[in-house]
Amino acid sequence: MSQFASNRRDILRAGGATLFLAFAGGKLRAADAAGRPLPEGDAYAPWTLWNDPSIRNTPLALVAAGVIAANPHDTQPWLFAVGDDTIEIYADASRNLGAMDACLRELHLGLGCAIENMLTAAGANGYAAQLETAPGSLIDLTERNQPVLAARLRLKRIAAAAPDPRAAAIPLRHTNRYAYDPARAPTAEWRDFARALGADGEVKVLLFDAGSPQRRLFDAAVVEATEAIIADKPMIADSDRWFRDSAREIDVHRDGPTLDAAGLSTFTLIFAHLFSVSAETSHKAWLDQTRDVQLPTAPVAGLIAVRDRYDRPGAIAAGRAWQRLHLDATLRGMALQPLNQPIEMIDRERQTGAGATWARRIAGLTGDDWQATFSFRAGFSSTTASPSPRRRLRDVVRS
């Protein structure tokens, strides 16, 4: 979840251009007011299906909300078994990120995000929902080919319920990789909401303001972890294989990071749709954008920590916290982006037996009683983020 659908194929930033039609894939594509080509095609239809009258007030409406949740690299690593009063959520381990997510930790964070969307949509669809999570450690979860039950929602029909106000943000929440306004910090109300997410003791949200000593340590860790990932051939290869850089690939796969959601400038995005670049160029651009744009323009960065980052219920709880935090931020007009490179390096060191240098380094930001499992930046952006492609319900609902 280096960026929960990360911009691994960003090409070098370039100057803006005001264009209203962009030529890509052999046809003219509609563009937004800033001239950026807009995502198009059926792969983006799930963003409106979640509240469609054809499935409203049925369990499928909750699943439709779940499939547009945040998740690592837009891998959408979930499957659902739907009954009249139960929805089972499975980890689709075949959609794992390999060396980028050696213990399926980020995969379970994504499941937590989907579950939070489902719980948020339940009341508006006439359900009370009770969550049950599968116990156990991610370290013991070795299955990579078969779906593994991760959680279950028990549904009870209710006469009426006031909808969760965050439900309105479900189709509007997108990862924003553009520059933020460094002079416009998140409000005290959002900070209070973030900290309150840890009231139950399952998770803890730590915030670091620009210029603080802890923030400097955070920024350095993100940059150096990005460099380490690029230098690690298996890691960067497992990241790159999910990237979809053409309309045809998006239509076929309906997943993965795309150019449209990568935070590119207008000119660069149009150029990137027309020409291919080398992997080395795209990796350098990812590092440049992380170091020179995303970190220095963010007024706030943060960590979500748990007691044990390899506890399955804990990973799901952390994913739920991230989704809830992002939904609330969306209602406030804020922009958020995961920057999970340091945590990915913790997992990679564990996988390779290279030690615990990264774990000790990040523990300096959380303290010994908590373990970071998610890192992010927050602020306000003048540029609206684009949606990512999503699979159809028939692709993710088990018969």
d(CA 120, CA 162): 11
Whole-number pLDDT of residue 26: 36
DSSP 294: I
Q: Which amino acid is at 136?
A: G
Contact 80, 88 (CB under 8 A): yes
How is residue 104 written in tokens? 């399926």
Instruction: Please state which architecture CATH assigns to domain 1-399.
Output: 3-Layer(aba) Sandwich (3.40)
Phi, psi of 335 (to 5 degrees): -120, 135
DSSP 132-150: EE--SBGGG----SSEEEE
CA dihedral 310, 311, 314, 315 (to 10 degrees): 40
**Domain spans of the chain?**
1-399
Cα 302 → chain centroid: 15
Whole-number pLDDT of residue 31: 52
Give the chain's count of helices (H) and strands (E). 13, 11
Query: Residue 153: which of 181, 167, 133, 174 has the closest Cα?
Result: 133
Q: What is the mean pLDDT of each run of 10 residues along the chain (399 residues)?
A: 43 31 41 56 92 94 98 98 97 96 97 98 94 98 92 92 88 97 96 92 96 98 98 97 91 91 77 79 93 98 98 98 98 98 98 96 94 98 94 93
For residue 137, the tally of other CB atoms under 10 A from its CB is 12
d(CA 140, CA 9): 33
To the nearest 10 degrees (0 to 180), the angle between helices 105-122 and 312-331 is: 50
Query: Residue 161: which of 121, 131, 134 has the closest Cα?
Result: 121
Can you give the pTM of this predicted structure? 0.90
Whole-number pLDDT of residue 323: 98
Measured CA to CA in angstroms, residue 343 lies from 292, 295, 348, 360 at distances of 21, 16, 9, 11
d(CA 284, CA 112): 31
